[in-house]
Structure 1
Amino acid sequence: MGRGQRSKYPSVKLREFVTHTVASKSPFPLSSTSQLSSGTPFPLAHYINCDNFSKRHREFLAAVTTGIEPRTFAEAMKDAGWRQAMQSEIAALEDNSTWDLVPLPLGKHALGSK
């Protein structure tokens, strides 16, 4: 199978939870009344009610739950938020002297990383 062609399955660790259910840009539909029929025995929407949170906190909750993570570097580069996040990560790694750049020995090839 070629790159990106293999079957992908949700994590078994999260099978009893409803994750990333907010698809709206509006932060206000976050409440126990917006339920999905996911077949999950204990959906979080049955236990969490965001109605008592402030407007700003509901906006924050919507922002952290609506995001869809890019699957490839190319997808991430199309999004200004992801580009900024990557630049911040690289800057932090460089500021903390996390690694040293050294030349490769002759005849050796660098390994990629995910």
Structure 2
Amino acid sequence: MSTRIKKSPEYLKDYHCNLNVSSTSSSVKYPLNSVLSYSNLSPSYKSFVMSISSHVEPTTYFEAVKHDCWRKAIQCEISALESNQTWETALLPLNKLAIGCKWVFKIKYKADGTIERYKARGIPFTDIQAYRRLIGRLMYLTNTRPNITFSVQQLSQFLAKPTIVHYNAAIRILRYIKEAPSLGLFFSSTTTVHLKAFCDSDWGTCSDSRQSVTGFSVYLGNSLIS
């Protein structure tokens, strides 16, 4: 065991950071609790936040069916679709292919943090609206995560007719964000109110459209804000 005194990195002296990482999992390179503290939350809201963090929503059908609560949620969704006559069971016609379906699983919580119910919903892979909503949220996130800007911009070019390849690429961005939740922009606590902007472009370098690629950065003082 090292006896060396631990202290915050010198380059973080001008930033508001909580570096309490004693309970951090070693599998996460940039853990959220390295920059986030729950000490100022009210007891009721802290209980709600901790309850959400302690439950995991499955990402695939095969993960969900291992648990009785999610199997019941799937059966309730199917029963609701049948009772509302949204669909009916039928034989697949010859020379036809069935459309794939992705199950989405969500936990609905009460105000005190306890679980109200488990929700399951089947979404076809051809759901263009779901893809557009996902890309829209990722575009909003680029305000503080400029490292995903180029990838999100590329995927936003296929909003009219996305494919499963584009959807999987968007999900991969989400996995990257989840693995590095605290990797974002730092805002200095003593910055000057001075706005600076820089831009650059490369002519005809986009491999998809053969158009020019333009980049820009905006600083408030010494803090990158866009």
Q: Higher strand fraction: Structure 1 or Structure 2?
A: 2
- The structure with the larger Rg is 2
- With normalisation by structure 2, the TM-score equals 0.26
Larger relative contact order (CA 8 Å, sep ≥ 6):
1
- With normalisation by structure 1, the TM-score equals 0.41
